[in-house]
Amino acid sequence: MKLVLLGAPGAGKGTQAVRIAKNQGIPHISTGDIFRKNLKEETPVGLTAKAYLAKGQLVPDGVVVEIVRLRLLEDDCKNGFLLDGFPRTLAQAEALKAIAAPDAVINLDADLDALAKRLSGRRVCGGCGESYHVDLGSPEVCTKCGGAVIQREDDKAETVAARLLVYKAETAPLIDFYRAEGLLVNIDGMQDIDAVSAAIRQALRRL
Ligand code: AP5
Ligand code: MG
Ligand code: ZN
């Protein structure tokens, strides 16, 4: 199945994507993770993306689309994929349609005012990318891989505010776009993590 996970910063895309990918046996492709990995390794893509990530702005469409296009050509995407954080603009959505049209788009519907709190309390594993939250008892060492648990650079208050504004202006219109395409599956992202997962599994079974 070719799936897209749509949602505001902090809506729970990464958290749910790991579970969906495992359940469906498809690769989890997060453009944000790809940029952070490139940044860490100081590749040309990482250097291009650096300033955008730091400001909470979007990396230019051409750069992102090319990365996704190449990633979707890899062998493990033959039986489907789960995109997390892509598309984020109408131009990216149109590009994806031409490359590999999705079968369904899961929108994690969240209250934007609550997300700043989720993001400022988020901690992530520098090794495997697992997400934690200080309110849910974030460990210092990852329980999955033993890596150090750190705060993401762009989870500082000023950058979080910028990311939410960019989401409203650029990405939220994709909800209507995919509704019009008949692909939208809306899920209440404000329930607890397990309830969100259960709702997604149920919705996918009905497809
Ligand atoms: P990206 O990495 O995609 O960041 P984002 O969209 O801001 O999303 P997040 O990863 O912050 O949130 P999430 O929805 O994954 O939430 P999570 O599951 O972690 O992108 C980063 C940057 O890269 C962008 O700003 C941009 O610069 C660039 N970029 C990436 N893709 C791009 C593209 N296509 N085009 C252009 N530029 C691009 O959960 C958040 C927290 O909440 C965690 O602590 C978690 O434990 C907790 N939580 C999750 N679910 C729940 C729940 N149900 N209840 C309570 N707490 C919860
Ligand atoms: Mg994420
Ligand atoms: Zn880890």
pLDDT tens track for 14-67: 999 999 999 999 999 999 999 999 999 999 999 999 999 999 999 999 999 999
pLDDT for the residue numbered 162: 96
- Angle (deg, nearest 10), helices 31-40 and 61-72: 100
Average of pLDDT values for 81-103?
98
Its pTM stands at 0.95
Say if residues 109 and 126 touch (Cβ distance below 8 Å).
no
Determine whether 88 is an active site residue. yes
Name the average pLDDT for the chain. 96
State the Cα–Cα distance between residues 122 and 149, nearest whole angstrom.
Answer: 10
Say if residues 136 and 123 touch (Cβ distance below 8 Å).
no
pLDDT for the residue numbered 52: 98
pLDDT for the residue numbered 130: 87
Tally the residues of the chain: 207
Per-residue exposure over 167-196, b if at least 16 CB sit within 10 Å of its own CB, e if not: beebbeebbebbeeeebbbbbebeeeeeeb
Q: Which of 34, 35, 156 to mutate to test the pocket of ligand 1 (most atoms within 8 A of CB)?
A: 35
- CA dihedral (175, 176, 181, 186) in degrees, to 10, reads 40
- pLDDT, one tens digit per residue, over 114-168 is 999 899 999 999 888 888 999 999 999 999 999 999 999 999 988 999 999 999 9
DSSP state of 85: S
Determine whether 118 is an active site residue. no
| Residue 89 confidence class, pLDDT cut points 50, 70, 90 | very high
Which residues of the chain form beta strands (DSSP E)? 2-7, 28-30, 81-84, 104-109, 122-125, 131-133, 149-150, 184-188
Alpha helices in 25-130 (DSSP H): 31-40, 44-55, 61-72, 90-100, 112-120
Domains and CATH numbers, the chain: 2-112+157-205 (3.40.50.300)
- CA dihedral (37, 9, 180, 195) in degrees, to 10, reads 100
**Identified catalytic residue from 2, 36, 88, 118:** 88
Determine whether 152 is an active site residue. yes
For ligand 1, whether the C-beta of 171 sits within 6 Å is no
State the Cα–Cα distance between residues 74 and 71, nearest whole angstrom.
Answer: 6
pLDDT for the residue numbered 127: 87
**Identified catalytic residue from 13, 36, 118, 123:** 13
Nearest alpha-carbon partner for 122 in 5, 2, 11: 11
For ligand 1, whether the C-beta of 197 sits within 6 Å is no
Average of pLDDT values for 97-117?
96
